[in-house]
Amino acid sequence: MSGEATIRAYGPSDFEALVRLIGDAFGGESPDSVRFVVSAANTATFVAELDGAVVGVSMAISFGQTAWIGNVVVSADCRRRGLGMSLTEAACRAAGDHAETVLLLALGDARRLYERLGFVADGLYGTWTATASTPAIVQAAKDVADVRRAAAAARPDTVQQCLALDRRATGEDRRAYLEYFIPAMTAAWRGDGEDDAGQVTGYAARLSWGTGAVVADDVEVARGLLCDLLRQIPTVRVEFPDANDAGVRLATDLGLERVKENLRMRLGPPVAGYRPQAVYKALTPAVG
C-alpha cells in the first residue's frame, strides 16, 4: 500500500474490518465481542485508513479517573509506518481528557512503543488455559463445600455489593462497563446454609462469548467461581495479575497451564486502592 494513512474516528461501516484485524491479532475474536466493545458508551474507537482500506484500530475505554487503551492493532503489511504509535496517541488523547491514569496490557515487543510514550511497567498478567487433566480436576473440585452462589440481580443489594467489590479490587469505577454484565453476574459468599445470604466476597460475570471477570476477597470463593467457569467453557483463557499469589497457586492446582503473559503498563500515578490479589480473571484483555 502507498500514500498517507489517516487516523479518524470509527464508523459503523468499519465493523467488518475491525473484526478481521482484532481476530487476526488476538486469535479469532467473535463479531459479538467486537460489537460489545465498540458499542459501549464509554469506548472511543479510532481507525487508520490507507488507500481506502481500514488497516489499524485502537480504543480508549474511560472509567472516570482511569482509562484503558486496548485492541491496538495494525495490519501485518502496514507495520513499520508509525501507525501503531499514531493510533495509540489518538487513544491516549481521548483517554487523557478525563483520566488521571491511563492503563494498558502490552504483549511482547509492543512494550517499547508504549515506553516511548511515557508508559511504565505496573506488573505482569499471566494467561492460563486448560490442559488435558483439567476437566477431571474441575469435576472433583466443582462443589467447594461452603461457597454459596446466587444470581446477583435476584437480590436487592447484591449488585451494589458486587460493584463495590470490583472497585475495592481494581481501584477503578468500572460501573459503566459492568452494567452490561449484570444480567449474567453471579455473587458468591461463604455460608453454612442454603438460605444464608452473607456478605458478598466474590463475583463472576461472563458474557456469552467468554469475556468476563472473577473477583474475590476469598480464595475458596474464587475456586468455586473459577470451577463454575471452567465447567461451562473448558477452553476459556484466564488472565490475572502475577501479584495474585493465591491465584497462581489456584490455577496450578486446577491443572491450568500458563501460556503467555502481558505487561500491565500505566501512564500517570499508580491507581490508588488497586489490589491485584483479588483479581482472578481479568474482565477483558482490553481493560484488565
Q: Which pLDDT does position 261 carry in this prediction? A: 92
Q: Which pLDDT does position 143 carry in this prediction? A: 59
Q: Which pLDDT does position 76 carry in this prediction? A: 82
Report CA-CA distances (Å) from 222 to 81, 104, 134, 272, 278.
44, 24, 16, 23, 9
CATH number for position 232: 3.40.630.90
Q: Which pLDDT does position 192 carry in this prediction? A: 59
- First vs last C-alpha separation in the chain: 34
Q: Which pLDDT does position 14 carry in this prediction? A: 95
Domain count of the chain? 2
Domain span holding position 45: 6-99
Whether residue 256 is contained in a domain is answered as yes
**Domain shared by 74 and 19, yes or no:** yes
**Domain shared by 95 and 238, yes or no:** no
Q: Which pLDDT does position 55 carry in this prediction? A: 92
CB 57 within 8 A of CB 21: yes
**Domain shared by 144 and 242, yes or no:** yes
**Domain shared by 65 and 132, yes or no:** no
Q: What angle do CA 58, 60, 64 make, to 5 degrees?
A: 175
Whether residue 198 is contained in a domain is answered as yes
User: 278 φ, ψ to 5°?
Assistant: -100, -5
Q: Which pLDDT does position 138 carry in this prediction? A: 66
Whether residue 109 is contained in a domain is answered as no
**Domain shared by 70 and 211, yes or no:** no
Q: Which pLDDT does position 284 carry in this prediction? A: 84
C-alpha to C-alpha distance for 7 and 117, rounded to whole angstroms: 18
CATH number for position 63: 3.40.630.30
Model-level pTM? Answer: 0.90
Question: Could you list the mean pLDDT of each consecutive 10-residue stretch along the chain, which spans 288 residues?
Answer: 82 93 77 87 92 92 93 86 91 88 90 93 94 68 74 89 96 92 92 65 88 93 91 86 96 91 95 97 86
**Domain shared by 141 and 227, yes or no:** yes
CB-CB neighbours of 152 under 10 Å:
25
**Domain shared by 146 and 92, yes or no:** no
Q: Which pLDDT does position 140 carry in this prediction? A: 60
**SS3 state at 212:** strand
Grid coordinates standing for 279? 483479581
